[in-house]
A and B are shown apart, each in its own frame.
Chain A
């Protein structure tokens, strides 16, 4: 015969396990979102090739076909590299989160390692977004002081691709911030005072 105290304790334990499963589900969903964001940004930036006829500024004056790709600027190359790293990282941690869904335990050291790697990834992705954004802004506006001409009036499709990729990378950075906040607040709940 089950004692009254154990029957009363069962719903509380069930609720706690439901809450932890809910938290793990949110974790998986956010990591999948991060993967989708990084993949989209990389694909959009890599497919941004555009060839246009550009007037040559020195004799013989004429129009030559000129190509703009993401490899022209080291900033965009770093952008693609950083977002690819974030995509690979999101795949690995999504698999880890899914495997942690089935296991009932909660490991403190694992949580600390994942949070540490998440923060480093946040810095990398935010730096990529800032780097590409800075260079794209100069390409969009030009700079009269350094005499750097704007190129987005000629290479408009290239600039649109770059702008889209940068916006998606900002979304990926926000998803990483949400992931970190979720992990830290879950830790607050799981480790009682």
Chain B
């Protein structure tokens, strides 16, 4: 009777350990998948804005008597510093996503606390950099879309509609990427708490 009870207790303990191991494995796969997703999303955002250029022919009336002159005007992403910062930040986030993915894969199982702490620190810095890049691009895009009558900055998006739509798409994709980076930090904290 006692032996049966002891066997049942041992069986329960083994089941609990199996559940814990299963959860740890699921967390590890989730973390790898999310790192891969951040790589893809920040790469997409950098490409969408990096290849964003639009040329439009605008009729400009110099004198009311002469017919309007057709002038081709171009919009490129590097005409605005905020967009340059956005592309650079997303390129950095993409390369960091790749490097951290490879490092995390190579570090499987081994409890190398040093590497894990370095990756958490770099994840936090990436959250900050990506969030600021998103904010800058969104602010400048908003000024381009609405203009600002107090400082007499005219809106640009009535002429360059496709350019502005691509900016909006890039900012949206990068927003998703930065949300994933936030989620990565929380996942790292969960990993630390589930260490035993």
Contacts and interface: CB of A to CB of B under 8 A. Distances in A.
Contacts of A126: 127-129, 131-132, 135
B128 A184 contact: no
Given A72-B151, A126-B127, A130-B132, A145 B137 contact: no
B140 A138 contact: yes
Contacts, number: 144
Interface string B109-139: 0010100010011001101110111111111
Interface in B51-87: 75, 79-82, 85
Contacts of B120: 181, 184
Nearest to B79: A145
A131 B191 CA distance: 33
Interface stretch (A11-19, A39-47, A113-121): A113-121
A78 to B, nearest CB: 8
Give the secondary structure class of B's interface: helix
Interface residues of A, number: 50
B147 to A, nearest CB: 9
B102 interface: no
A149 interface: yes
A149 B152 contact: yes
Of the candidates A72, A111, A129, A145, the one having the most CB atoms from chain B within 10 angstroms of its own CB is A145
B117 A184 contact: yes
A163 B44 CA distance: 32
Interface string B140-153: 10111000101111
A5 to B, nearest CB: 25
B136 A191 contact: no
A68 B117 CA distance: 45
B139 A131 contact: yes
A191 B121 CA distance: 19
Nearest to B141: A134
A139 B140 CA distance: 11
Contacts of A132: 139
Nearest to B142: A74
B131 A134 contact: no
A99 interface: no
B99 interface: no
Given A127-B134, A135-B143, A119 B153 contact: no
Nearest to B85: A134
13 contacts: A112-B189, A115-B185, A115-B189, A120-B182, A123-B128, A126-B127, A127-B134, A128-B135, A130-B139, A131-B132, A132-B139, A134-B85, A137-B82
Interface of A: 57, 66, 68, 72-75, 78, 108, 111-112, 115-116, 119-120, 122-124, 126-135, 137-139, 141, 143, 145-149, 151, 173, 177, 180-181, 184-185, 187-188, 191-193
A-B CB proximity, top 7 nearest: A130-B132, A134-B136, A131-B135, A127-B135, A130-B135, A145-B79, A134-B82
